[in-house]
A and B are shown apart, each in its own frame.
Chain A
Amino acid sequence: MVETPPLLRVRDLVTSFRTDRGPLRAVDHVSFDVPRASTVALVGESGCGKSVTALSILRLVATPPGRIESGTIELEGRDLLQLPEREMRAVRGNHVSMIFQEPMTSLNPVYTVGWQIMEAIRLHQKKSRRVARARTVDLLGLVGIPEPDTHVDAYPHQLSGGQRQRVMIAMALACEPKLLVADEPTTALDVTIQAQILELLRELQQRLSMSILLITHDLGVVAENAQHVVVMYAGQVVESAPVRDLFARPMHPYTHGLLDSVPRAKPSASRRLRTIEGMVPDLRDLAAGCRFAERCPLRIDKCVLDEPPLDEVAPGRLSRCWRPQDVQPEASP
């Protein structure tokens, strides 16, 4: 990773929103890299800033009320935040695409799915209708839609949820982007369909050697699909590590708590799950010190007074904690 520069390099990204109760910094100095042809997972619970980070990369944050205040988002060395809107439009779709959680609402119900994919192709590439249609049929086949030459003329409501998500993926891949931002791509789907879609994404990634920024709250999906994990809490990155290291030994108490509250091994006789007590702090009303301190089992006085920096705590691993070495995983069964 040191030799080849990453495909995407995000540094000190700050995105804030105006709200009735004062400004809210949803993304607070977030930095991470996405290497070429690999999957980086951005993990966290609702409100942690993971989706806003994703939208910021594509500059799709609604302004107002939102605003990207500072930072850089470099795609192959070019800072997307400095591009004029016209050039940014060319980046979207051509270089970076996005798929969303809700395939029902992301497609236009009054146009056929083929029309919508063709529109994406013709918008970004000068292609004739006939060529665009042929490419659309190919894409639908690529993402596993049965009888693509018939389904190209289907309306979204005629497809199942899983098929609609496949159509969204086909649309996102229409111009062979180098980076696919997938925001909770399987959250609305049933487990067996989720397995199909994730399998499809892995397959397409290999075939097209594209990078994926996978935004999810599901640690199981992370474990099976990402090479590197970035954990966010209350607008900040709290831990960043290769996937195996993270799951073998979390080095931030929040990551540890998250892993622990997912039922994994055999149920205990008490039928209880481990929890992280308390709630996420209000981003408009932050106390001094570490944002996780109030809920942290490892809290010491220092945590309440000083905010820990995001430091390298082991080779290739970052953690925002004063006591990263004291975070112990439960004895593995």
Chain B
Amino acid sequence: MSGSKDLFQPATTAPPIREESVDPEGGTGQRPRTLVATERVAKYFPVRAGWLGRSGRFLRAVDGVSLRVRRGETMGLVGESGCGKSTLGRLMLRLLDPTFGRIIFDGRDVTQSSQRELRPLRRRMQIIFQDPYSSLNPRMTVREIVGEAIRIHKLAKTRADEEARIVELLEQVGMRPDAMDRYPHEFSGGQRQRIGIARALAVQPEFILCDEPISALDVSIQAQIVNLLVELQERLGLAYLFVSHDLKVVEHVSHRVAVMYLGKIVEQGLAATLYEEAAHPYTRALLAAAPQLDPDRKRVRLVLEGDVPSPIDPPSGCAFHPRCPRVVKGTCDREVPLLEETFRGTGHRVACWNPHTE
């Protein structure tokens, strides 16, 4: 019944969608379709050795990633802990400075922009955090939390305007206005996440980084928040980078999905394509490892051995090769595979020397 069986069969129904064909980049006189992009961006953190000293070694959290998020779309970013997905998100928001590479926001290179120059852009990009408990100031009321940014960016002329705007924002996220003068601890996890979303929406952003927004929530509440995010996107035309380790949820909310492993994107494509025709052995392993709601499912024997290697000294060649069931000796351990399209025009890209092709 479930996706696991379909996963290993070629999709016969849907005609290949030319992903790029819907992307008239440049030349049409419109605003660029791409809202945020990274170009070969990398973030290396120096590794400290012993007392204060520097070891001269680096942790390669993100290692040469090019990723685009288009207006109004959800780009899903999946991977296991330590793969660099959250770092990549923070680089996109310029909350971290890249070691090299470029960040483009709305057609403009913002890699070198100062904090001052970034101020007006901050209004256009926001973030929703994983932990609704630690991301809201416990000493501020909901009114202050949601209203703070409105005041900083001078988005309301009068106090009455500000109040009306806060009420409107709370209603947008499904909360009653009487929540305004209460404190975060008076709310459940799901409601706090709604407050966090209202805060992000306060400045009318175009791009929101959703960093594991539902991981800390219960299943039934997760679905409520996912639906809220989808609804807001449709209503307000928001672009999301949806970072999560939960492949199933990502499949549901995303238009396109990228899979990260040890600082690099190993596979990327339209959500439907990626889940049905996963070509990278790591993507397949991730999909097979996720438990299914089917007691009779024949467990796919694709349990990966060992742990993710350290990003300080990543393996040579393809970083996945020590755990890969399809490793080609002499190639995978020596040469880094590039992220290339499987078939021209499909937008389905994979970085693998020996991808699944069936």
Binding site for B on A (CB under 8 A): 45-46, 160-163, 190-196, 198-199, 217-221, 223-224, 243-244, 247, 257-259, 261-267, 270-277, 279-280, 332-333
Contacts and interface: CB of A to CB of B under 8 A. Distances in A.
Most buried by A among B2, B227, B291: B291
Contact of B1 (A160, A191, A192, A333): A333
Contacts of B326: none
A272 B3 CA distance: 17
Interface in B6-56: 6
Interface stretch (B57-65, B98-106, B118-126, B218-226): B218-226
B224 A275 contact: yes
Most buried by A among B252, B253, B296, B299: B252
Interface in B297-316: 297, 299, 303-305, 307-308
Given A220-B291, A261-B223, A263-B251, 15 more contacts: A190-B308, A191-B289, A194-B291, A195-B291, A198-B291, A223-B294, A243-B295, A247-B293, A259-B293, A263-B249, A273-B222, A273-B223, A273-B227, A276-B220, A333-B1
B110 interface: no
A196 to B, nearest CB: 6
Contact of B293 (A262, A266, A272): A262
Given A264-B248, A267-B252, A258 B220 contact: yes
B305 to A, nearest CB: 8
Q: How large is the interface on B (under 10, 10 to 19, 20 to 34, 35 or more residues)?
A: 35 or more
Nearest to B83: A190
A264 B288 CA distance: 14
Contacts of B296: 244
B293 A199 contact: no
B354 interface: no
A332 B226 CA distance: 23
30 contacts: A192-B80, A192-B303, A193-B307, A194-B289, A195-B289, A196-B305, A217-B219, A220-B292, A220-B293, A223-B293, A223-B294, A223-B295, A258-B219, A261-B223, A262-B293, A263-B249, A264-B292, A264-B293, A265-B2, A266-B3, A271-B252, A271-B253, A272-B226, A272-B227, A272-B231, A274-B223, A279-B188, A279-B190, A280-B188, A332-B1
